[in-house]
Structure formats: structure tokens, C-alpha cells
Structure 1
């Protein structure tokens, strides 16, 4: 069942076992936290370990948002989903270049090798939704 707000759309695709999260605009830290709390609830409801996070409509980030994601939110995902690793494909604009433009908190983390891949979660950047979906499907156990 989709969940939508003015800032966020959450849809679970049971045919792909994929949670699709679309940020619809830039958000403040409190909205980011509320939105990701809703995402976690949807993931728990569907036992979804494969997430497509569309950040193409967002441009702003700040160190507080990045720290919150890295230190608080991402580490709680795997324990909330029966200690399964979580795979996050983060979509950015096709013309976006690392270091040359502002990035969303998840994109910032994906650029940091120490934060992009842990035992509990894996974050990868993509500019093409089809390629991102393929990567998530490849990560799923056969």
C-alpha cells in the first residue's frame, strides 16, 4: 500500500520485492527523520531489504542530516529487519557529478567508502533507475 506525503512517496513492489522511496522535494532535518521513520515502518511491514531511494528532486543536505543517517538511522535498519543486510540504491540526477554539486545525505554517504558498505547495509549511487533496479535484483538471494 503506497504512503504519500508532500515530501515523500513510498511504494512496495511485491513483484520485485522492492521498496521504492521517492523524495519529492528538498526537506528539513525533521522532515527527513519523519520520512525515513515512515520508510522503516513500510520496510518492516513488507520485510523489504531492497530499497530504491529516488533523490533526484532533492539537492540540499547538511552535515547533521548525514551524521543522523550514518550514526542513527542506517545502523538500526538491519536489526529491525531480522538482521538481514539492507541494500539501498540511491538515484541521483543523470548530470550530477560527485564533488561538483550539492548532494543528498544518502548520496554523500554513498561516496564515502567507509560508510557506503557495512555488513548491515550497502549503499550504491545510480543515475539510471533500470540499472539501479537490476543491481538490487542481483543482490537478492537466488
Structure 2
């Protein structure tokens, strides 16, 4: 499944987009997502918390406990230590996949992201 933001969005719009994506994923039992946040540049600690504490824990049961693999597409010029991170990119840098029911990987290339998703069980 591909989730793509084409412009900077508010926290409310971002949450609404993620909730709609969850519904589509539940309808189609989609556990592999490409989340394109290349056009988003604003970090948001509240969104990181919301994703980690509320959204992602609710996503797994919504798709009948399928493994969740999120390929987060970031701008090729983005660098973790020098650039602000989108909420999902920030989460990918701070959360251990072993402790969670999902895997998040960061990519600057859409082809590499899609290849990684296709390799996942």
C-alpha cells in the first residue's frame, strides 16, 4: 500500500490520513506500506508519540495481526543528524523493532523501498 503526502499538512490532517490508511489496510489486509513523506519536513513530537503509543499498536489488530513493514521514503538530501525528521522518520530512529510489532526502515530511493517491502514475509 502506498501512503503519500503531496504537501505539508497539519497534525489533524496527518492523523486523519493515517486513520484513513488504516481503514484501507484493514479492508485489504495490507501489512506492507510505502509511506512517502518526501514533501513533509516538519518534525512533530506529538505526532511521534501518537504514532508510537496509539496508532501503530492499533494497526496490527486492525489487519488481523499480520506483520507490519513500513518503508518511510524521505528526501535524498535528508540526513538524520542535521535535518528535521518527519514523525515516522523520527520514530524509525528511536524505536527498536524487536520491542515492537512493526518494522520501519528509511529510504531515499523509492525503488529500494519497494524492493525492501517485496522482500518482507
What is the correspondence of 1:1-142 to structure 2 with a 5 Å cutoff? Answer: 19-114=1-96, 116=97, 118-140=99-121
Which structure ranks higher in relative contact order (CA pairs < 8 Å, sequence separation ≥ 6)?
A: 2
TM-score normalised by the chain length of structure 2: 0.94
Query: More helix by proportion, 1 or 2?
Result: 2
Looking at structure 2, the residues matched to 97 and 73 of structure 1 have their Cα atoms a distance apart, in angstroms, of 26
TM-score normalised by the chain length of structure 1: 0.81
Looking at structure 1, the residues matched to 79 and 54 of structure 2 have their Cα atoms a distance apart, in angstroms, of 27
| Structure 1, gaps ≥5 residues long | 1-18
Kept in 2: contact 1:84–1:120 (CA 8 A):
no
What's the CA shift string for 1:76-127, capped at 9, x where partnerless? Answer: 111111111210000001111002111110000111143x554421100000
**Root mean square deviation, CA, Å:** 1.2
| Structure 2, gaps ≥5 residues long | none
Aligned residues: 121
Query: More strand by proportion, 1 or 2?
Result: 1
